[in-house]
Amino acid sequence: MKELLRSIPPIHELQNQPTFMQLSKKYDVDKTVMTSILRMAIEGLRNQIIAGDLEGSDITSRIWNQMELMLNRKNKSRLLPVINATGTILHTNLGRTRLSRDAINRVVEVASNYSNLEFDIDSGKRGSRHDIVEDLIKEVTGAEAAMVVNNNAAAVFFILNAFGKGKEVIVSRGQLVEIGGSFRISSIMEESGAKLVEVGTTNKTHLKDYKEALSDDTSMVLKVHTSNFKIVGFTEAVSTQQLVDLKQFQEDLIVYEDLGSGVLFDFTEAGIGEEPVVQKVLETGVDIVSFSGDKLLGGPQAGIIAGKKQYIDKLKKHQLARVLRVDKMSFAALEGTLQAYANKKAKDIPAVRDMLLSMEEVRERAMVFLDTVTSLNLFHWELVEVESMVGGGTMPEVKIPSIAVRVHTDTLSSQTLADELRKGTPSVVVRLQDQHVMLDFRTITQGEIPKIVEAFRKIELTYRD
Ligand SMILES: *Cc1c(COP(=O)(O)O)cnc(C)c1O
């Protein structure tokens, strides 16, 4: 190993080799950048040698190969489209959702031009970006007022900071959730300066627990939608309506519900889950709710805050509103998405559409795929019934019946097959279940099918012999 490490030529020597200049010319990269890439290439090889992953000789040509790889990668985008064949509709690692065609068109239009982001066209005076989607949100939720921040985590922090800082906020122990490993209600609350008053137990919290915790220092009761887990069995939680009724004991008490995903389409009517639509929650008289733009709403990353005007007005004037403000492209996408709800065209939104696809519709997609792919004889194909997940920490208990194609080969392990599909262009991310590669067609569009067929064709060409 030491010998291998010693055989790495010094930088200045490599810089004087003709290959260095050739690569510099070929990729049109100047000497300074070339040298820093050279350093990284050497560093990478050194680590490989130390880890015992590299044997053999001719270190120099390995360095040039590594550099060429890095130079190739340098000009390629890092953020790439991926085909989600997992059947998980809100896939957090894969960007959560696809936007609707309308939303995408709105983004392209607004990003390609100047816009009236903060300009009132009627008066010619300065306008407010808060006005862009407020009326639409009011229309689809029935709220008195609304505003939008960067994401729902920001919304939670903002509301706690604006109304709970230095005061007490009451939360049920059953709702002190952690979402996605990086967002804990208790930590966010600590950061916000609000004092957490925990009530009840993990499985049961009663109205009297809240009532007894009320004090002169109480500013708010926070209800958190426990969206990424479900406690079953001997449980009891207090309804939003009951929390709202606590206001009779304390006049200035604010009742805030973090809805997590929040839905504007009533999935319960399609027999899916138990998520109440935002409008229904607001009808209880709750003061403020917040929810994500890119969970089941199917829009861009955003945190939507809706509720009583007196509170929303305060938030709009708060310093943090500037810190957490949303970009024009997000507003454009959000407007495009919300318009679909306002026009009763929620099924134009991919996340909503994929949730509602029937088994038969998914089966049709799978059949189109099978029709073209059966000519590839390296693989065995089988149509199977599976269950799709909603994902994104939403509706954890809900499993939607779906159709998948199960693939295996006699030569490749399922893991190798999954790796090959993932590393292809475009990357195809599959589900591995019972040691089989599964393509769940709930999240695969018609347009993606030829690309997946092509991915298998390439693998067949590589491994045929
Ligand atoms: C997902 C979630 C959040 C965070 O929302 P983001 O849009 O990811 O920032 C906050 N609270 C609950 C209950 C959630 O489910």
- For the segment 151-186, what is each residue's pLDDT rounded down to a tens digit? 999 999 999 999 999 999 999 998 887 776 677 888
**Which of 93, 176, 183 is the pocket-test mutation for ligand 1 (most atoms within 8 Å of CB)?**
183
Strand ranges, E, within 269-374: 288-292, 303-307
**DSSP, res 326:** P
Average pLDDT, the chain: 93
Better-scored residue on pLDDT, 337 or 48:
337
Q: Cα separation of 305 and 89, whole Å?
A: 24
Write the CA distances from 144 to 136, 310, 331, 343, integer angstroms.
Answer: 11, 9, 20, 20
Q: Kindly give the distance from the C-alpha atom of residue 4 to the centroid of ligand 1, in angstroms, as a whole number.
A: 50
Residue 463 is encoded by which pair of tokens? 């491994």
**Which of 178, 292, 330 is the pocket-test mutation for ligand 1 (most atoms within 8 Å of CB)?**
292
Where does residue 78 rank: exposed (0-12), middle (13-18), buried (19+ CB within 10 A)? exposed
324 lines ligand 1 (CB under 6 A): no
All residues at 6 or more sequence positions from 179 whose CB lies less than 8 Å from its CB, including other chains: 153, 227, 228, 260, 393
Task: For residue 374, name the pLDDT band (cuts at 50, 70, 90).
Answer: confident
Q: Kindly give the distance from the C-alpha atom of residue 438 to the centroid of ligand 1, in angstroms, as a whole number.
A: 29
Better-scored residue on pLDDT, 159 or 236:
159
Question: Which residue do the tokens 């070929």 mark?
Answer: 26
* pLDDT tens string 434-463: 889 999 999 999 999 999 999 999 999 999
Confirm if 292 and 152 have CB atoms less than 8 A apart.
yes
Whether the predicted pLDDT of 209 surpasses 90: yes
CB-based contacts of 341-347 (< 8 A; 24+ apart in sequence): 341/140, 341/264, 341/265, 342/136, 342/139, 342/140, 346/264, 346/265
Average pLDDT over residues 269-274: 93
Tell me the three state secondary structure of residue 185: helix
Q: Which helix (H) or strand (E) holds 386?
A: strand 379-389
Residue whose Cα lies nearest atom 2 of ligand 1: it is 260
Residue whose Cα lies nearest atom 6 of ligand 1: it is 152
Q: Where are the domains of the chain?
A: 2-75, 82-90+354-463, 101-347
Write the CA distances from 8 to 22, 255, 277, integer angstroms.
Answer: 20, 66, 63
Distance between terminal CA atoms of the chain? 35
Average pLDDT over residues 251-257: 96
Whether the predicted pLDDT of 77 surpasses 90: no
Residue 333 is encoded by which pair of tokens? 């996408």
Question: Which residue do the tokens 């999954």 mark?
Answer: 418
pLDDT at 357: 97
- Chain length of the chain: 465
200 lines ligand 1 (CB under 6 A): no
Task: For residue 196, name the pLDDT band (cuts at 50, 70, 90).
Answer: very high
CATH architecture assignment, domain 82-90+354-463: Alpha-Beta Complex (3.90)
* pLDDT tens string 361-370: 999 999 999 9
Q: Cα separation of 289 and 260, whole Å?
A: 9
- Region at 95 (left for phi over 0; alpha for psi -120 to 50; beta for the rest): left
Q: Smallest Cα–Cα separation from 356: which of 458, 425, 269?
A: 269
| Domain 101-347 class in CATH | alpha beta
pTM (2 d.p.): 0.88
Whether the predicted pLDDT of 230 surpasses 70: no
| Ligand 1 atom at shortest distance from the alpha carbon of 303 | 7
175 lines ligand 1 (CB under 6 A): no
Confirm if 440 and 402 have CB atoms less than 8 A apart.
yes
218 lines ligand 1 (CB under 6 A): no
Residue 114 is encoded by which pair of tokens? 């100047």
| Ligand 1 atom at shortest distance from the alpha carbon of 293 | 7
**Which of 90, 150, 152 is the pocket-test mutation for ligand 1 (most atoms within 8 Å of CB)?**
152
Confirm if 319 and 149 have CB atoms less than 8 A apart.
no
pLDDT at 1: 81
pLDDT at 53: 82
Tell me the three state secondary structure of residue 410: coil
Better-scored residue on pLDDT, 434 or 55:
434
160 lines ligand 1 (CB under 6 A): no
Q: Kindly give the distance from the C-alpha atom of residue 345 to the centroid of ligand 1, in angstroms, as a whole number.
A: 25
Confirm if 282 and 146 have CB atoms less than 8 A apart.
no
Q: Cα separation of 94 and 388, whole Å?
A: 16
Q: Cα separation of 439 and 418, whole Å?
A: 10
Task: For residue 231, name the pLDDT band (cuts at 50, 70, 90).
Answer: low
**Which of 171, 230, 258, 301 is the pocket-test mutation for ligand 1 (most atoms within 8 Å of CB)?**
258
Write the CA distances from 183 to 198, 199, 296, integer angstroms.
Answer: 18, 20, 19
Average pLDDT over residues 294-319: 98
Residue whose Cα lies nearest atom 14 of ligand 1: it is 260
Q: Kindly give the distance from the C-alpha atom of residue 261 to the centroid of ligand 1, in angstroms, as a whole number.
A: 7
273 lines ligand 1 (CB under 6 A): no
Beta strand 303-307 with 288-292 is antiparallel
Whether the predicted pLDDT of 2 surpasses 90: no
Beta strand 303-307 with 145-149 is antiparallel
Residue 182 is encoded by which pair of tokens? 């990086």
pLDDT at 232: 61
393 lines ligand 1 (CB under 6 A): yes
pLDDT at 58: 84
pLDDT at 397: 83
Q: Kindly give the distance from the C-alpha atom of residue 182 to the centroid of ligand 1, in angstroms, as a whole number.
A: 10
| Ligand 1 atom at shortest distance from the alpha carbon of 392 | 1
pLDDT at 224: 93
Q: Which helix (H) or strand (E) holds 191?
A: helix 185-192
Q: Kindly give the distance from the C-alpha atom of residue 394 to the centroid of ligand 1, in angstroms, as a whole number.
A: 9
Confirm if 205 and 199 have CB atoms less than 8 A apart.
yes
Residue whose Cα lies nearest atom 13 of ligand 1: it is 260
pLDDT at 343: 98
* pLDDT tens string 107-158: 999 999 999 999 999 999 999 999 999 999 999 999 999 999 999 999 999 9
